[in-house]
């Protein structure tokens, strides 16, 4: 009998992915159905439902669930199940008008031009996009990448149960790293793990990430380095480069029996606290008992306080999910301590000064962030050796040297240490 946490809202995973003859027949049938084009976010959400990562969802949400999730974190259709972010599908007005309730439609990925699955349409409805943005992102500023995506959605939402026929390019492109929840659970069980801490990554793994993982290993059976391989915003480092960088660090600086790497296909929403809750829900489906929640989890710019994602776990019902947060303070390299430390442990409060050549010029705390690392690398500036391991820096340097067009990386308070209070 498994010692792992149960899937969210269920005793077993509920993958919606078809295989074999069923898959072939569904794809053949889909050829004759009306095609509903999906954005990259909608496609990734469909795949998450397909592999069981969004257990117990059975399709795209209707209006009552959309409103319940936005306003109260609950799905009325699932006996008020806790859920933090709407999972919806939009269509333009003309297509929506042509689709009848009860009709089956083919779900079509606009980018790869491929059939991803089918849906039986049970509802058509419109939403207040600003309301969703206020609730989910705590802002309606269109400069926020998540807000921008919602405001660009087509005007009508289609809801209904889905059948998933494809995982797109993920299994091949990220072979060896891309995993379904059932596969991760099997690996945890084979190692005899019962407590597993998930480390969410969308950046290459610098020394603060490594420190968080080492701390988690001290209190759990193992750590699941779970990196996003879905679509990111401009300026973020591509998944294939991140995979190489993380491999280099893990293979040399971690005990192999205490760490497992995995990748998942969801697209970032940059919703800060709300997205931290979504990360927790689907990590529970992967078999994780804890989620490491550090500084500025799933944030962007200065829209969220550096520890808002930790606070939100205190605001939801204690029985909202089985997984628990593992809140960890801001970590950094301290020149006075001569090691990695956190604001809970280090008494030296001065900020370290580094010159344009990457040389230490005094002060104690060198605050590390993925945003600052990307900015230094994109501008061709030297990275202090305390920031990340040389194997990681070499891989990132090769990537940035290969770029024809440099993307400007803007720093924000949560990345520089100008915002440090809880």
At 30-74, the pLDDT tens digits run: 999 999 999 999 999 999 999 999 999 999 999 999 999 999 999
**Roughly how many angstroms between the first and final C-alpha of the chain, as a whole number?**
41
pLDDT value at residue 24: 97
Q: For residue 292, what pLDDT band results from cuts at 50, 70 and 90? A: very high
Superfamily holding 169-264+270-422 = HUPs (3.40.50.620)
Q: Residues 351, 417: contact at Cβ < 8 Å? A: yes
Mean pLDDT of the chain: 92
Comparing 116-130, 289-303, 357-371, the range with the smallest average pLDDT is 357-371
Helix then strand count (H, E) for the chain reads 15, 17
Strand segments (E) across 64-189: 74-75, 81-82, 89-91, 104-109, 114-120, 123-125, 156-164
Domain ranges for the chain, please list them.
20-167, 169-264+270-422
Q: Residues 331, 303: contact at Cβ < 8 Å? A: no
Beta bridge partners of 160: 60
What would the two tokens of residue 135 be?
């609730």
Would you call 63 a catalytic residue per the annotation? no
Q: For residue 239, what pLDDT band results from cuts at 50, 70 and 90? A: confident
Residue 37 phi, psi (nearest 5): -70, 145
The yes-or-no verdict on residue 164 having pLDDT over 90 is: yes
Q: Compute the distance between CA of residue 74 and CA of residue 29 in angstroms, rounded to an integer.
A: 34
pLDDT value at residue 79: 97
Is the fold of 20-167 the same as that of 169-264+270-422?
no
Q: Compute the distance between CA of residue 176 and CA of residue 34 in angstroms, rounded to an integer.
A: 35
Q: 41, 157, 185, 203: which is the annotated catalytic residue?
A: 203
Q: Compute the distance between CA of residue 177 and CA of residue 284 in angstroms, rounded to an integer.
A: 18
What would the two tokens of residue 129 be?
């996009």
**Which carries the bigger pLDDT value, residue 75 or residue 175?**
75
Would you call 41 a catalytic residue per the annotation? no
pTM (2 decimals)? 0.92
The yes-or-no verdict on residue 418 having pLDDT over 70 is: no
Closest CA to 87 of 161, 13, 8, 171: 161
| Angle of CA points 412, 417, 421, to nearest 5° | 105
Q: 41, 180, 185, 202: which is the annotated catalytic residue?
A: 202
The answer as to CATH 3.10.400.10 being correct for domain 20-167 is yes
Angle separating helix axes 129-137 and 63-72, nearest 10 degrees: 40
**Most confidently modeled range among 113-122, 171-180, 242-251:** 113-122
């Amino acid at each position: 009998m498994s010692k792992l946490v149960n899937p969210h809202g269920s005793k077993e995973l509920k993958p919606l992915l078809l295989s074999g003859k069923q898959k072939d027949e569904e794809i053949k049938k889909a050829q004759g159905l009306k095609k509903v084009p999906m954005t990259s976010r909608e496609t990734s959400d469909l795949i998450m439902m397909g592999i069981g990562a969004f257990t117990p969802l059975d399709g795209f949400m209707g209006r009552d669930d959309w409103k319940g999730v936005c306003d109260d974190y609950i799905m009325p259709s699932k006996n008020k199940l806790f859920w933090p972010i709407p999972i919806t599908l939009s269509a333009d007005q003309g297509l929506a008008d042509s689709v009848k309730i009860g009709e089956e439609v083919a779900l079509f990925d606009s980018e790869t031009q491929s059939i991803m699955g089918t849906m039986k349409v049970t509802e058509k409805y419109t939403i207040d996009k600003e309301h969703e943005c206020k609730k989910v992102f705590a802002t309606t500023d269109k400069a926020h990448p998540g807000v921008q995506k919602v405001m660009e959605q087509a005007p009508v939402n289609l809801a209904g149960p889905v059948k998933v026929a494809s995982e797109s390019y993920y299994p091949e492109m990220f072979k060896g790293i891309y995993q379904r929840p059932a596969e991760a659970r099997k690996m945890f069980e084979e190692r005899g793990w019962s407590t597993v801490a998930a480390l969410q990554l969308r950046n290459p793994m610098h020394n603060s990430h490594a420190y968080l993982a080492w701390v988690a290993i001290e209190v759990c059976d193992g750590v699941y380095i779970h990196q996003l391989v879905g679509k990111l915003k401009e300026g973020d480092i591509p998944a294939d480069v991140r995979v190489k960088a993380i491999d280099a660090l893990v293979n040399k600086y971690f005990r192999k029996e205490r760490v497992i790497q995995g990748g998942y296909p969801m697209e970032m929403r940059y919703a800060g606290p709300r997205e931290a809750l979504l990360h927790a829900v689907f990590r529970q489906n992967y078999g994780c008992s804890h989620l490491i929640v550090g500084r500025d989890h799933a944030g962007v710019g200065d829209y969220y306080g550096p520890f808002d994602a930790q606070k939100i776990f205190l605001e939801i019902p204690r029985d909202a999910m089985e997984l628990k947060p593992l809140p960890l303070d801001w970590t950094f390299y301290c020149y006075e301590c001569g090691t990695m430390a956190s604001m809970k442990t280090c008494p030296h409060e001065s900020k370290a000064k580094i010159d344009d050549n990457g040389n230490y010029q005094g002060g104690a705390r060198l605050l590390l962030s993925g945003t600052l690392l990307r900015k230094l690398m994109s501008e061709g500036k030297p990275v202090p050796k305390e920031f990340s391991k040389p194997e990681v820096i070499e891989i990132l340097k090769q990537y940035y040297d290969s770029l024809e067009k440099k993307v400007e990386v803007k720093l924000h308070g949560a990345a520089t240490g100008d915002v440090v209070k809880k």
